[in-house]
Structure 1
Amino acid sequence: MANFVLIPGGGSGPQYWSLLADELRGRGHGALAVELPYEDEKAGLEEYADAVAQAVGDQRDLVVVAHSFGGFTGPLVCDRVPVELLVFVTGMIPRPGERPGDWWENTGHASALRESHLREGRDPDAQDVYDLFLHDVPRTLADAALADGRDQADTSMNAPWPAPTLPDVPTRALICTDDRYFPADFMRTMVQDRLGSAPDEMPGSHHPMLSHPTELADYLERAYMTSSGSSSDRRRRSGT
């Protein structure tokens, strides 16, 4: 069984992982929804990764699941604890030296989002959080997740991503075909460009852990089982 380390997106608390965490625990896995120090003005990406490593402790068989802005933290965790699999879930995939605040411009997100809105007949300037991020999530769940939000300091946005490369661990990227904030076509291009492979796909909005927790748990289990053999082979070859 795996221990799933659930890293929240920008300005978010662990509450929105609760349905997925319960689903994973019900299948015999461990599930740790991490609290990041988003409100701490002294904390940047390195401190976020340190907080995750401290929360993990000596747990093993780790699957790091990084949601949205958590994609800038997830890979750094892999340099601090032994990770079997890294999964970006509707995640921002960084490049070495890239400031998180520049990611949107570097990837062409604004134009892709506007084109997607116009193509689907939505107001391209609309900023309603429910419509943009949570349109397929029951309102009570959406409100509970939003109520657990954090005021994120700018520190993590302004420093270059500190790793020289993405970690040498099995890595998957999952995108959601109904995501209105990170449209599917945009994400397919971004993932191919930054990982060199096509993403996996499932239905859902930007928060599939709230709208499709069972399907997301199914996916994560399959991804772990697929990667576990290659991880074991890699450890045997390295003598660890």
Structure 2
Amino acid sequence: MASFVLVPGAGGMAWYWHRVAPLIRAAGHESIAVDLPGDDTQAGLAAYADIVVRGIAERSRVILVAQSLGGFTAPLVCARAPVRMVVFVNAMIPKPDETAGQWWGATSAIEAREQAATRRGYATEFDPGTYFLHDVSQDVLRAGPQRPREEAEIVFGEPCRFTRWPDIPIHVLAGRDDRFFPVEFQQRVARERLGKKVEEIPGGHLVALSNPEGLTEHLLACERGLTR
């Protein structure tokens, strides 16, 4: 049995994983959806890593799944806990000592997003409905929190203090319909920063909400590869 530790993106809400976690458990594994204090103006990456490491506790067969901004927490956790595999999901992939604020310019993320919007015919100006919620059903949204948790600025200015990625399997999953981090952009970043190819999944940036079955299927396939 593996322990899937699920790290959310901006806002830090464990609720993001509420459709994936039970599917992982139904497959015979443990799922731990971590809740992070995204709106705490005093809590940055180091605090996030502390929380995730405490959640892992004594577990040894850990698959760390990091969504979006959660990618900046992942290497800090890997340095402190027995992580067997990392799976990025529409994630920001950092370089050592980079801040999440620097990442946008270093990767040309905004330019890539706007170019994809122009090609595909939706608004280049960001709004949550267009870029995050376009493929998430209203039933799912109505069942969730009334207001998403905001992300405090502190996390974008704190360097990601790690030396190198560990020598473990790393998978990069990207939503084929992600408008926030278009799949072509994710392919380039994964290639340049990890030397990895992207595994595409139907769904947008919040794929755990829009396509939990498809995402879980990919996560379980990653775990099966670890046992071979």
TM-score normalised by the chain length of structure 2? 0.95
Q: Which has the larger radius of gyration?
A: 1
Partner of 1:69: 69
CA distance in 1, matches of 2:50, 2:148: 21
Q: How does 1:205-216 map to 2 (within 5 A)?
A: 205-216=204-215
Partner of 2:35: 35
Q: CA offset at residue 197 of structure 1? A: 1.7
Q: Secondary structure at the match of 1:137?
A: coil
Question: What do the CA deviations read for 1:205-226 (whole angstroms, capped 9, x no partner)?
Answer: 0011111111111111111111
Matched, 1:6 2:6: yes
Q: 1:228 to 1:79 in 2, by over 3 A?
A: farther
Partner of 1:233: none
TM-score normalised by the chain length of structure 1? 0.90
Partner of 1:24: 24
Partner of 1:200: 199
Q: 1:197 to 1:13 in 2, by over 3 A?
A: same
Q: CA offset at residue 40 of structure 1? A: 2.4
The answer to whether the Cα contact below 8 Å between 1:53 and 1:77 also exists between their aligned partners in 2 is yes
Question: What do the CA deviations read for 1:79-138 (whole angstroms, capped 9, x no partner)?
Answer: 22111110000000000111111111110111111111111111212x331221121111
One-letter amino acid of the structure 1 residue matched with residue 5 of structure 2: V
Moved more, 39-48 or 154-163: 39-48
The answer to whether the Cα contact below 8 Å between 1:12 and 1:148 also exists between their aligned partners in 2 is no
The answer to whether the Cα contact below 8 Å between 2:10 and 2:150 also exists between their aligned partners in 1 is no
Q: Secondary structure at the match of 2:63?
A: strand
Matched, 1:115 2:115: yes
Partner of 2:89: 89
Partner of 1:140: 139
CA distance in 1, matches of 2:74, 2:66: 5
Moved more, 128-137 or 99-108: 128-137
CA distance in 2, matches of 1:40, 1:105: 25
Which structure 2 segments of 5+ residues have no match?
Answer: none
Q: 1:146 to 1:122 in 2, by over 3 A?
A: farther
Partner of 1:47: 47
The answer to whether the Cα contact below 8 Å between 1:3 and 1:61 also exists between their aligned partners in 2 is yes
Q: CA offset at residue 144 of structure 1? A: 4.2
Aligned residue pairs: how many? 228
Flag the structure with higher helix content.
1
Q: CA offset at residue 39 of structure 1? A: 2.5
Which structure 1 segments of 5+ residues have no match?
Answer: 230-240
Partner of 1:236: none
Q: CA offset at residue 168 of structure 1? A: 2.4
Q: CA offset at residue 150 of structure 1? A: 2.0
Partner of 1:220: 219
Q: Secondary structure at the match of 1:19?
A: coil
Q: Secondary structure at the match of 2:66?
A: strand
Q: 1:82 to 1:15 in 2, by over 3 A?
A: same
Q: 1:146 to 1:178 in 2, by over 3 A?
A: farther
CA distance in 2, matches of 1:185, 1:81: 32
Q: 1:144 to 1:165 in 2, by over 3 A?
A: farther
One-letter amino acid of the structure 2 residue matched with residue 85 of structure 1: M
Q: Secondary structure at the match of 2:159?
A: coil
CA distance in 2, matches of 1:184, 1:145: 27
One-letter amino acid of the structure 2 residue matched with residue 78 of structure 1: C
One-letter amino acid of the structure 2 residue matched with residue 142 of structure 1: L
Q: CA offset at residue 193 of structure 1? A: 0.5
One-letter amino acid of the structure 1 residue matched with residue 39 of structure 2: E
The answer to whether the Cα contact below 8 Å between 1:20 and 1:209 also exists between their aligned partners in 2 is yes
Q: CA offset at residue 53 of structure 1? A: 0.8
CA distance in 1, matches of 2:200, 2:150: 30
Taking only the aligned residue pairs, the percentage that are identical comes to 38
